[in-house]
Structure 1
Amino acid sequence: MTSWMVFLCALAALGCVSAQGNRYENFNTDAIIQNERILLAYYKCVMDKGPCTKDGKNFKRALPETLSTACGRCSSKQKAVVRSLLLGIRTKSEPRFMELLDKYDPERLNRDSLYKFLITGV
């Protein structure tokens, strides 16, 4: 279940960062990681496996752009949050990380750019 929490935390933060701009500059990822129920709900939402809350819908709407641009429109702080969460997802659950990427980048058009962002933060 820890991998679910990390995965969902990342999804939530990705969506918050892109959909809400500066509102989530100080987003507390640790608080989300600690709540398995919330993380699972966000995961199910963005993966079309369950209902979405208002925030879940915003995350789901922002996720494709966030992944396809490797957080290109994110601020430095937002990039750090997104990068940390994606690396956490990948570390905790490579299959779920790949499932997320396959859903939102099925043609693998942005994988190199996204992996570069994960390695360098740029």
Structure 2
Amino acid sequence: MSHSNAGDFRSQRRILQLKQIMKDIILISLVAIVAVAWARPGSTYTDKWDHINVDEILESKRLLRGYVDCLLDKSRCTPDGKELKETLPDALEHECSKCTEKQKTASDKVIRHLVNKHPDYWKELSAKYDPNNIYQERYKDKLDEVKGKE
């Protein structure tokens, strides 16, 4: 093999190596972008159920019991109940940071109602979702504030 052919071969080999390195960098970059996009939590929970009339549920023993039983795994859930059940642990853990304003208002109203009008439901739900009283302690001031205020 002549000297010039060897040089051409090395140049071509080097170009192929550089192309492979570039492909690898692009692939790694794409994987990183996808991983970041998937790991990044949404800014808020879905608002598709923000239209629910919370007052209607709280005023109806049947509807309220249905939601409570759903959350306690005592009965089947409506689509709204299922969404609530899936979202509740995250909302408790992260202080409703992804709740819409409407969801925060509704959640305050529901907590106030349960604490004051249905302490038995509140106790059952607390036993399931906060067996170690972590959230009861975290939200103690807020709970004390709503007691006796309906």
TM-score by length of 2: 0.56
**Counterpart residue number, 1:62:** 87
- Note if 1:51 corresponds to 2:81: no
Superposed CA deviations along residues 18-70 of structure 1, whole A, max 9, x for unmatched, are x9522344542112223332222221111111222332222211121222333
1:103 to 128, 134, 146: 128
CA–CA distance in 1 between the matches of 2:73 and 2:83? Answer: 14
**Counterpart residue number, 2:62:** 37
CA–CA distance in 2 between the matches of 1:58 and 1:95? Answer: 23
Which has the larger Rg? 2
Which amino acid in the other structure matches residue 38 of structure 1?
L
Instruction: Provide the identity percentage.
Output: 30
Worse overlay, 43-52 or 27-36: 27-36
Deviation of the 1:116 alpha carbon: 3.3
CA contact (8 A) 2:58 2:110 kept: no
Structure 2: give runs of 5+ residues left out of the alignment: 1-43
CA–CA distance in 2 between the matches of 1:87 and 1:43? Answer: 15
SS at match of 1:23: coil
CA contact (8 A) 2:58 2:64 kept: yes
Distance 1:73 1:99, change over 3 A: same
Superposed CA deviations along residues 89-116 of structure 1, whole A, max 9, x for unmatched, are 0001223212211211112222222233
**Counterpart residue number, 2:100:** 75
The answer to which structure, 1 or 2, has the higher relative contact order (CA under 8 A, 6+ apart) is 1
How many residue pairs were aligned?
103
TM-score by length of 1: 0.67
Structure 1: give runs of 5+ residues left out of the alignment: 1-18
